[in-house]
Structure 1
């Protein structure tokens, strides 16, 4: 009996140690990579964003890994010609995530719309990468008269090719009460360190992963709230895509679709299908590029913006 008790106490102490380690890692991450942008509050939710330049407004929305920092190279190139704004989506980076309702791409589009209104931004261009392609498509369907156009970078758009459509055990674990909290606050840091490299290499391929970007992902993506937001978004994608995709043919705002020639993901096929579904859209294929266009090929993003404005 004493041996069994010692065994239980050892396990508990080990779990406590992992919990403390998790808290230390989060603290160090937010100390090393603090918020450096601005905040706006919408529906009691604080959204974090970066803003640079003056001129025609362009709003950037990142994919499912990190945050607005995905577009830091693009912002530096575009700030002389545009007013560029990159948001941390709800729950990512330093933006809060609502706990009052289930967060879907449509809900995120509505919150973004309220933020844009509050910031007094008129007729922006929305640029969405990867997962945020669906968010931008939702916005274009609901608020077409309030947009100058949209740019979709390697966008996810259809349910049938989305990996989570076949089941995503990790996401289900993360959102399960009690079990999810145990995973997020105890196991995420040690297991997540292994996941980062496996995830980033194909995302950037054939380009290499910048060291600083890798460090930032290991620091910020592995925070419990950020990681949970990512897994919730993965689960919400398929039902939202099924609902929205039957309406893509109704989109009539100027649309530029950009894909990497060597993108290994199914977003490449989604892009071709979108090009056929959205009337008057334009497709740009970026040579020798993979999926992470904002970080690795910022000039391709600028080119898409220029084509959109020149086509009007």
Structure 2
């Protein structure tokens, strides 16, 4: 049976951050960080499994999910990482296991870069890696009045269903609940202005020379058919992270918390128990 949840908002680093906290006294805490255009919703199948063995803090990274969609927040990985560090400190969590999916994985790596001893073990689920900063022309575009309107049109053209089909290998699991859950945060116009600001602030992924310095034990879990972050990215990341191992899930795409929650849970449980 899943533990009760405490959910709400805390003013952290100048913005209201939405969180879900699943207490489990005396258990190790895992911190869940979602990917781009996603939210805590992406972990809804994984959380009930993890709550049997761990205390859980799941965070909506701004401007996603139920967190603030401020035009003033700096949407860089560094600032997102600093925000999560402050949330961890707010809850008084010691030696958490950091778990990041896609963009959330890159935020985890930035956290380890800023505070190397914050965690000894981290799990990267199809982590965003090796992406370069946006071209200056695109960054300049973000300053143009009404640029957020074009961002909204671009996202509408992609559509939630098409995006899910790109990220999920087994299309048969896509249902109304899933589509509605990912669509919900984009029904507010505020998010498009924040995403436009994000184009400007995003500094690109950490380079190899920085990844080489990370000392934490890293478990990399990847989908065999990941189109967003292909398997060769995971293989390269394994080489750059000194203390890491890579697990590949067959017949799985990028959205592995949707497709393989039980397998991920088993791998995490085994990894955390290892000495």
TM-score by length of 2: 0.86
Output the CA distance in 1 between the equivalents of 2:214 and 2:175.
Answer: 36
Q: Which aligned pairs between 1:227-238 and structure 2 lie closer than 5 A?
A: 227-230=192-195, 232-233=197-198, 236-237=201-202
SS at match of 1:50: strand
TM-score by length of 1: 0.76
Question: Which residue in 2 is equivalent to 1:125?
Answer: 97
Question: Which residue in 2 is equivalent to 1:134?
Answer: 106
Output the CA distance in 1 between the equivalents of 2:153 and 2:33.
Answer: 26
Give the Å deviation of 1:44.
Answer: 2.9
Q: Do the aligned residues in 2 keep the contact of 1:157 with 1:267 (CA within 8 Å)?
A: no
Please say which structure displays the higher CA radius of gyration: 1
Residues 246 and 195 of structure 1: CA distance in aligned 2, closer, same or farther (over 3 Å): same
Question: Which residue in 1 is equivalent to 2:15?
Answer: 45
Residue 180 (1) aligns with residue 147 (2): yes
Residues 168 and 59 of structure 1: CA distance in aligned 2, closer, same or farther (over 3 Å): farther
Residues 244 and 108 of structure 1: CA distance in aligned 2, closer, same or farther (over 3 Å): farther
Range with bigger deviation, 264-273 or 97-106 = 97-106
Q: Do the aligned residues in 1 keep the contact of 2:148 with 2:193 (CA within 8 Å)?
A: no
Q: Do the aligned residues in 2 keep the contact of 1:207 with 1:296 (CA within 8 Å)?
A: no
Listed as ranges, the gaps of 5+ residues in structure 1 are: 1-35
Listed as ranges, the gaps of 5+ residues in structure 2 are: 1-5
Residue 90 (1) aligns with residue 57 (2): no
Residues 190 and 267 of structure 1: CA distance in aligned 2, closer, same or farther (over 3 Å): closer
Moved over 6 A (4+): 166-169
Q: 1:295 aligns with which of 228, 248, 258?
A: 258
Once superposed, what is the RMSD of the aligned Cα atoms?
2.7
Output the CA distance in 2 between the equivalents of 1:276 and 1:217.
Answer: 33
Q: Do the aligned residues in 1 keep the contact of 2:71 with 2:194 (CA within 8 Å)?
A: no
More helix by share: 1
Question: Which residue in 1 is equivalent to 2:118?
Answer: 146
